[in-house]
Chains A and B, each alone.
Chain A
Amino acid sequence: KQEVTQIPAALSVPEGENLVLNCSFTDSAIYNLQWFRQDPGKGLTSLLLIQSSQREQTSGRLNASLDKSSGRSTLYIAASQPGDSATYLCLNQGGSEKLVFGKGTKLTVNP
């Protein structure tokens, strides 16, 4: 059964810090690795998608990397801002159509 673990569960940092969110998964079959953010009471917004043939993707201050051999992905946020406060979730679109999410990391960036 696919399991997705996200560490830490919650993170509080001062504005301007660089930070790393971690995602690990048990399904060795990887098609795409997708990172999302969710604001309270809202749907999920896609941030980055790493194809299985890639090692990383960048968008602005966000950089996501994928290490298939260890079953891990990291999301790096540079120069964090209060507007980055949200819950971040990862999804390994692996060998099954039964897509399973981790519980997410709740990020708070303090002004």
Chain B
Amino acid sequence: DGGITQSPKYLFRKEGQNVTLSCEQNLNHDAMYWYRQDPGQGLRLIYYSQIVNDFQKGDIAEGYSVSREKKESFPLTVTSAQKNPTAFYLCANRGYRQANNEKLFFGSGTQLSVL
């Protein structure tokens, strides 16, 4: 599973509240990704990071923020500006791309719901 741990498995957010989803990896992989999945839909990219202290916006970054202070950790904050946060959130990681055999691995996901 690429040694990725997502927590918590279920998370509830009150209106106006910021919440943070955790993603930790133990395989020293460079690249990490956050995806959002709505019921019956595909995965949409929120943010990604290739190295420590650097990250880029994906297709739906509005209302979300990330940090990459450590190689092992890539937390995602769902801010109060995200008006429709209910979804399944998936974190993924991958090693050095030019190795040409680097698989993308996923965590088990966090289901976020609004109270």
Interface contact A89-B42, CB-CB below 8 Å? yes
Interface residues in B65-115 (C-beta closer than 8 Å to A): 88, 90, 92, 94, 97, 100-109, 111
Measured between beta carbons, the chain B residues less than 8 angstroms from A99 are 33, 45, 48, 104
Interface size class of B (residues with CB under 8 A): 20 to 34
Interface flag for A85 (CB, 8 Å): no
A98 CB within 8 Å of chain B: yes
Q: Is B58 in contact with chain A by the CB < 8 A criterion?
A: yes
User: Across the interface, do B101 and A51 meet the contact criterion of CB distance under 8 Å?
Assistant: yes
Interface size class of A (residues with CB under 8 A): 20 to 34
Please state if A103 and B41 are interface contacts (CB–CB under 8 Å): yes
Please determine whether B105 and A102 come into contact, CB atoms closer than 8 angstroms: no
Distance in Å from the Cβ of A14 to the closest Cβ of chain B? Answer: 24
CA distance A93 to B50 in the complex (A): 14
- A6–B102 alpha-carbon span in the complex (Å): 22
Q: Quick check: is B31 within 8 A (CB to CB) of the other chain?
A: yes
On whether A51 and B100 interact (CB within 8 A), knowing A42-B109, A43-B90, A43-B109, the answer reads yes
| Residue B56 at the chain A interface, CB threshold 8 Å | yes
